[in-house]
A = this chain, B = another copy of it.
Amino acid sequence: MFENERPRDECGVFGLYRHSEAATLTYFGLYALQHRGQESAGICVSRKNNKMVSHKGMGLVHDVFKMEDLARIEGGSAIGHVRYSTTGDSVLANAQPFVAQHKGRAYAVAHNGNLVNAHKLKQELEESGSIFQTTMDSEVFLHLFVKNLKDGNVVRAIQRSVAKIEGAYSFVILTCKGEVIGVKDPNSFRPLALGKINGSYVLSSETCAFDLVQAEFVRELDPGEIVIINEDGVTSIKADPEPKTASLCIFEYIYFARPDSTIFGKNVYQMRKAHGKRLAQEAPVDADFVMPFPDSGNYAAIGYAEESGIPFEMGMIRNHYVGRSFIQPTQSMRDFAVRVKLNPVRELIRNKEIIIIEDSIIRGTTAMTRVKALRDLGAKKVHMRISCPPHRFPCYYGIDFSSKGELIAASKTEEELTRYLGLDTLHYLSIEGMLEASGVENPEDHFCKACFDGSYPVAFDPAVTKCCMG
């Protein structure tokens, strides 16, 4: 699977309670979460004088923030956000954190997920005179929050607001008093973890950000939990009643999260390797070597090779200097964008039987190009093994599987797909295998696997809910 047809996550969030370098550490945190959203980034800081300042921009974290931007907003409590591209005209307006003021107090919200009843909530709010500047769920949430803030109790306002929203959400919220609050939906679709740093506390979508800012991982938030970080330390408000089951997005393990992160209590690298091992058991094949399409397939490939005893090679070489845009040749080389990123090692491929390990196939066009490239170099046989089941259903909880196209597995059988991609054999990991390999007890009650089997854990009105199939 390759960039222009990759699934895209809704975001990464980060928050840090009072630190003299809060903005800089949040910047580092977003750097570590960059893979969760590359199209805009923002940091909002609540300073000691109750003043809220922010800086947001389009592009990667290191493009958006210059030294002077951070210097301008440094000091206090901070939350940050990275976001994938939005369509529409006023994209910067949609960059988060969303900040608004009410009665002289500012609040900021950063969101990862997707509210399935946002449309209905917005209608109700507009009836009472609310106006909206963005299309973001976080603006809807902030309106709800302010409506519920009548007695000035922030936590109660959050609880009341949360009671109204449905879907997937991992919020970090910042008040002008410097409180940092984390909120997770009762299904726990998206990860959100608590860490400790120099006596203060930090929240992050993934633990890889803790490593970078040298924070200590404390724990994942529980389903439906609200965590308030302020001068009293950390206060937790558990969902009442506590959810018996969860719907952790299993695709976070397969694709989104960084391998060095521990999410929902399990390390991602090890989960991927376990999927690769299981795949070797489910779909063995003889070959000269096992090879990932880097870097997404790396860890499952290592697992597959280890389990099967077939040598592991890294036969596709990545160009580390590829920028965001290319000059397209006018006549030839239409697939330059695909080929510049990864180049197969000619001498390794010729006359060999190869097992390719991939983490998923969405539209399949790039995979087809890659397989053809291997054939052109003289590969004798090309087998492909996918470390997850076929994607057949859209996600309504925060993943955009395809910007323009179709989920190819929804319209083609495995046999058709084998031919379409030019493969000798193709096998997906089974749903059962994926769940069992997770090492979790009763995995059916732990994971959302709706994109594979269509069993959606939270109901929605398909007519108005924003789905993410494009």
Which residues of chain A have a CB within 8 Å of any CB of chain B? 20-21, 24-25, 27-28, 31-32, 34-35, 38, 51-54, 60-63, 65-67, 70, 72-73, 89-90, 92, 99-103, 123, 126, 128-133, 142-143, 146-147, 208, 211-214, 258-260, 262, 267, 269-270, 295, 298-299, 302, 305-306, 311-315, 317-327, 329-333, 336, 339-340, 343-348
Contact = CB atoms under 8 A, between A and B. Distances in A.
Given A28-B329, A100-B131, 16 more contacts: A28-B340, A54-B90, A62-B326, A67-B327, A72-B89, A101-B133, A102-B130, A102-B131, A102-B132, A128-B128, A130-B131, A131-B142, A211-B346, A212-B340, A295-B318, A312-B312
Contact of A24 (B35, B54, B123, B330): B330
29 contacts: A21-B331, A25-B329, A32-B319, A34-B319, A34-B321, A35-B321, A60-B321, A61-B321, A62-B321, A62-B322, A62-B325, A67-B327, A70-B327, A92-B92, A99-B133, A101-B132, A102-B131, A103-B123, A128-B128, A128-B129, A130-B146, A211-B339, A212-B336, A260-B317, A267-B346, A267-B348, A269-B345, A299-B314, A312-B312
Nearest to A129: B147
A295 to B, nearest CB: 7
Contacts of A28: 329, 333, 336, 340
Contacts of A339: 211-212
Identical copies in the complex: 4
A-B CB proximity, top 9 nearest: A62-B323, A267-B347, A100-B131, A34-B321, A53-B89, A260-B317, A129-B147, A260-B345, A101-B132
A28 B214 CA distance: 40
Nearest to A149: B129
A259 B21 contact: no
Contacts of A319: 31-32, 34-35
A306 B302 contact: no
A89 B54 contact: yes
Nearest to A142: B131
A381 B329 CA distance: 51
Nearest to A326: B62
A262 B347 CA distance: 8
A311 B60 CA distance: 36
A331 to B, nearest CB: 6
Contacts of A62: 321-326
A191 to B, nearest CB: 15
